[in-house]
């Protein structure tokens, strides 16, 4: 399943580029959004295999995007990995409550992120 579709939603262009490069090296099809509203629309149109979602986004924050997708029957099975600089326990709890499958704090290890992505994709096969 190397042609898995992965949506990266983050407003930090450098970080998106780094993640996109690493994912494309693995053979994944990468979709990118720079704000929550765009991310939500792409997720609904493309139905990606997994979503890497920042929390602090323009237009719609990551919590809202996650909630809107996870509480919709059509999209709730898509794994969502939250990537965020918010490291407090209350933020992690809120992330889980909105339906995030994983909560990854920035800065993160790219190899660990790739391992998590592969793990979630292997569960979908």
**Domain count for the chain:** 1
What pLDDT band is residue 20 in, cutting at 50, 70 and 90?
A: very high
Q: What is the pLDDT of residue 1?
A: 42
> What are the pLDDT digits (tens) for 62-73?
999 999 999 999
Asked if residue 28 belongs to a domain, the reply is yes
Residues 6+ apart with CB under 8 A from 78: 43, 47, 48, 49, 50, 51, 69
Residue 92 has pLDDT above 90, yes or no: no
Q: Residue 33 is part of a domain; what is its CATH number?
A: 3.40.50.2300
Domain membership of residue 37 as a residue range: 5-113
Q: What is the pLDDT of residue 14?
A: 95
Asked if residue 14 belongs to a domain, the reply is yes
What mean pLDDT do residues 19-25 have?
A: 96
Can you tell me the distance from the alpha carbon of 112 to that of 121, in angstroms, rounded to the nearest whole number? 14
Percent of the chain with pLDDT over 70: 98
């Amino acid at each position: 399943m190397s042609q898995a579709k992965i949506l990266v939603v983050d407003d930090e262009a450098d970080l998106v580029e780094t993640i996109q490069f690493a994912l494309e090296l693995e053979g994944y099809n990468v979709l990118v959004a720079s704000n929550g509203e765009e991310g939500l629309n792409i997720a609904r149109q493309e139905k990606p295999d997994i979503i890497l979602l920042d929390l602090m986004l323009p237009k719609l924050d990551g919590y809202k995007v996650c909630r809107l997708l996870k509480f919709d029957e059509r999209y709730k099975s898509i794994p969502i990995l939250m990537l965020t600089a918010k490291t407090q326990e209350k933020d992690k709890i809120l992330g889980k409550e909105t339906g995030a499958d994983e909560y990854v704090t920035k800065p993160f290890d790219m190899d660990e992120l790739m391992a998590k992505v592969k793990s979630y994709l292997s569960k979908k096969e």
